[in-house]
Structure 1
Amino acid sequence: MPDRTKTASFWERQRGRMLTGLGALAILAGGGDGAEGETRASATKPAATTEQTASTTRLPQGSGFDFYVLSLSWSPTWCAGNDPNGRTDQCEVGAENAFVVHGLWPQYERGYPEFCKTDEPDRVSNAIGREVIDIMPSMGLIGHQWRKHGSCSGLSQRDYFTVVAAAREKIAIPVELQRPTRALRRAPLAVEDAFIASNPGLDRRMMAATCRSGELQEVRICLSKSNLSFRACPEVDRDSCRARDLAIPPVP
């Protein structure tokens, strides 16, 4: 079984974003009463000011699709609905997972490919899995995401998971959502705005906060395939939760 210890280097990178993330606290704290009819365009920045210049140094270049969707799953919601007894690595007692990488999905402007033919093996080796186990806390999840989505990236397994790690490193998690120990209730737009405050250049056209049975399910962020810059994605944006507010279960 691969080492599941959260690597020090990953959390050191995240601590470097803490000051930016502090700005999201006020947004989340004040967002619980979002008006039902609030327009999603109200926080949108002009396109000219949102172009990001993520480093392309050694970033493997995918092909055969238009852009990526980085899906960050709220682990307490997933575990409560899929593994309440904590039998998987992701949900076992002491795992303390908050947002985990569900996947990095090659996407078309409309729709997406899946389970593509590739010369790469179906099984992801433990050696490759160990490189992302700190952000995708299950070899089962890693293998499934490769077969369903990574196989459509035009990349080798190693290159695909290199891009997965780079995409996750780009995103700063709002401070209040890093490891909350009490249940929260927030408007979906407040969750999005907290991410926007923590990630300069991101706006509501480029993401979706999704819900399931009244609880936060995922935050999905659209990234260019060339340099992982934030980019608009109308189809993904339309999947945003339309509830007035949603519950955010605590990290156990």
Structure 2
Amino acid sequence: MTSRVEIALDRAKDAGRTAFIGYLPAGYPDPDTAVEAAVALAEAGADVIELGPPYSDPVMDGPIIQEATNHVLEAGFRTRDLFPLIRRITERTDVPVLVMSYWNLIVQYGVARYAADLAATGGAGIITPDITPDAADEWIRASEKHGLDRIFLAAPTSTDERLAMIASNSSGFVYTVSTMGITGERADLDEAARTLVDRLRAAGAERACVGIGVTTSEHVSNIAGYADGAIVGTALVKALRDGGVDGLAAKARELVAGTRR
């Protein structure tokens, strides 16, 4: 069965675009504004919304996202607060909402409980940056039970064997890491991203979206030439920090303009 995320990506493809996936820290800068920001992102043309719960040791996040998630943590946001937030967003938009979470947060909450609560509040699935399919049996079972997408990461350093494992166990899409390192703004995207998407397709991945370092409309336009979606985080978080919801919406529209093939 085709998931909501897969339908969103396919709809963009049919319209001659690459999909636009926008990341925001869950609860930033406060829960009410976070809901408005997510809805504004959807209204600006995002095909999928990605929410990142705050974590005390965000090894993949660059300084702008770290600053935002630290702010949310210090305000007292906890995993249990994520699900009411998602419900408030999904009540106002049909755009699928994914969670991008470090695995420890999910384990501490309980894998089966997390999956059940996410599904109950309208969430579409989870991106898990720090767990691989061979260590995710419990999550795979829970995701299948509750109809959630499980999105694993593929890196340029991954072997062909590992890419095949990732492709066969992912649903929604494979998160294609454009370059090695942390999230943030970069002047140029590595050619490695295009090569990695080609390798993933050869390994059986039906949909591959590129993230890490995607910050400009030009980056998005480049990705539109070879991938199913472009994932943007830091540029959106910076726009929300500096210009509020209106600033975020303007930046999102600018980036979405790059999706047309």
TM-score normalised by length of structure 1:
0.28
More helix as a share of residues:
2
Bigger Rg, which one: 1
Greater RCO structure (CA 8 Å; 6+ sep): 1
